[in-house]
A and B are shown apart, each in its own frame.
Chain A
């Protein structure tokens, strides 16, 4: 054994992250004949994503899975990913990030001491609420807990809601007591974190496709000989392909479960939502010319 990799993530040992990283562990150990040993640490054992990214950048940690929205705070260009309705849906997001544009974006990480192995599962976030949200008009004045980043806060402001800051851990109680009316969340998480017990409606507004990235410390990556680099890179993409399939399944099951719990699932026409959210783009990208440039590339890729 010549190399050790410790790969961390903050989600549970049932999550897509875990599925991908354990598959990666199997593939790498098998294809390198044990020259690389991989250890996966789930559940935030290596700290929250802010710290994990710091640790990866400084070589304290080999790598792991982090959310694109956490990387935004380091790589300004990534803010483009939290623009509402920048992708038409998760299929388009998978396609663009899996292609040339995605690779270009991963290469941006190099400047910050990281190497991107690939884009992982995409979490399509929609609105769960106590009151029905059939159209964008129903969003007016809705007290909603959103991810506390400008990409989410501004988007939901533009759609007429009142984004309310709230720790995720306090959210269940807050919904139960009506301190907030709604949350934005992916189908698998609304089931896993039991929010199905406190909302009556789930509206597939799909404003954000939350991306995830498999990153390594650049210090580790550049120290690997070329043959191992190839194996690691390929194993990562194979593991991701496997994990994304599992994640889609989890999503399907999540939506089914949501319906089974008696929650009204609505699929509204998204055009009015996208239109209402659009003015937030300028605010979100205001101080990030890098993201503006990247937006043009993504829009070109969408054609």
Chain B
């Protein structure tokens, strides 16, 4: 079990880098747009980069779904937890497991409706880059899969470590 968990975390470590790289691509594309508009034009160089915005938007969509997927590993998804945290463990802990089960079921639904959406995307192309939109739409089922995997990993870890799952999110504060 521990080795499986370690494998999942290796995957998450790689995905975290991917997610950071996606943000870097987004930033790079927008920066290029600014440079084209202000620097190159001022220098009299005539280029047009209509693809920057589209590329930035699509990489960002992937960043959101993969990033949220990675976030599930440490229960980083923002929630109103103060009530559950203040309850006695014998009530609060089952509620927490119940919400995780519900979340996993919802991720399953997202995966399941994500597939026909990808199918729809096969007959759509992006206006500028002429990209098949399914390339973007895959972010949903892939992200949903990752969220399921990481939610299970969190439960398994808390069970193995005999930790109170309600406090699994405690770590550095998010901004």
Binding site for B on A (CB under 8 A): 50, 54, 57-58, 69, 72-74, 76, 112, 141, 143, 148-150, 153, 157, 162-165, 179, 287
Complex contact B128–A149 (CB within 8 A): yes
Q: What are 22 A-B residue pairs whose CB atoms fall within 8 Å in the complex? A: A54-B120, A73-B124, A73-B126, A73-B127, A74-B123, A112-B123, A141-B46, A148-B50, A148-B53, A148-B127, A149-B127, A149-B128, A150-B127, A150-B128, A150-B130, A162-B41, A163-B50, A164-B48, A165-B33, A165-B52, A165-B53, A179-B37
Interface flag for B49 (CB, 8 Å) = yes
Task: For the complex, give the distance between the alpha carbons of A112 and B120 in Å.
Answer: 9
Which of chain A's residues have a CB closer than 8 A to the CB of B50? 148, 153, 163, 165
Which residues from chain A contact B52 at a C-beta distance below 8 Å? 165
- Is B103 an interface residue when CB atoms closer than 8 A count as contact? no
Interface residue ranges, B against A (CB under 8 Å): 33, 37, 41, 46-50, 52-54, 120, 123-128, 130, 133
A148 — which chain B residues lie within 8 A by C-beta?
A: 50, 53-54, 127-128
Min CB gap B160→A, angstroms: 43
Determine the distance from Cα of A118 to Cα of B141 in the docked complex, in whole angstroms. 36
A72 partner residues in chain B, CB cutoff 8 A: 127
Assembled-state Cα–Cα distance A162/B127 (Å): 18
Closest 7 A-B residue pairs measured CB to CB?
A165-B50, A149-B127, A163-B48, A153-B50, A162-B46, A73-B125, A165-B53
Extra pairs beyond A162-B48, A165-B53 (12, CB < 8 Å): A50-B124, A54-B124, A57-B120, A73-B124, A73-B126, A74-B124, A141-B46, A148-B50, A148-B127, A163-B48, A164-B48, A165-B48
> Nearest chain B CB to A152's CB is how many angstroms away?
9
Closest to B40 in A: A162
**In the bound complex, how far is the Cα of B41 from the Cα of A34, in angstroms?**
60
- How far in angstroms is the closest Cβ of chain A from B26? 15
B125 contacts across to A, CB distance below 8 A: 73-74, 76
Q: CB-CB < 8 A to B54: which residues of A?
A: 148
- B-side contacts of A74, CB under 8 Å: 123-125
A218 to B29, CA, bound (A): 39
- Residue on A with the closest CB to B47? A162
**Given known A-B contacts A73-B126, A148-B128, A143 and B41 have beta carbons under 8 A apart:** yes
Knowing A162-B46, A165-B52, A165-B53 are in contact, say whether A58-B128 is a contact too (CB < 8 A): no
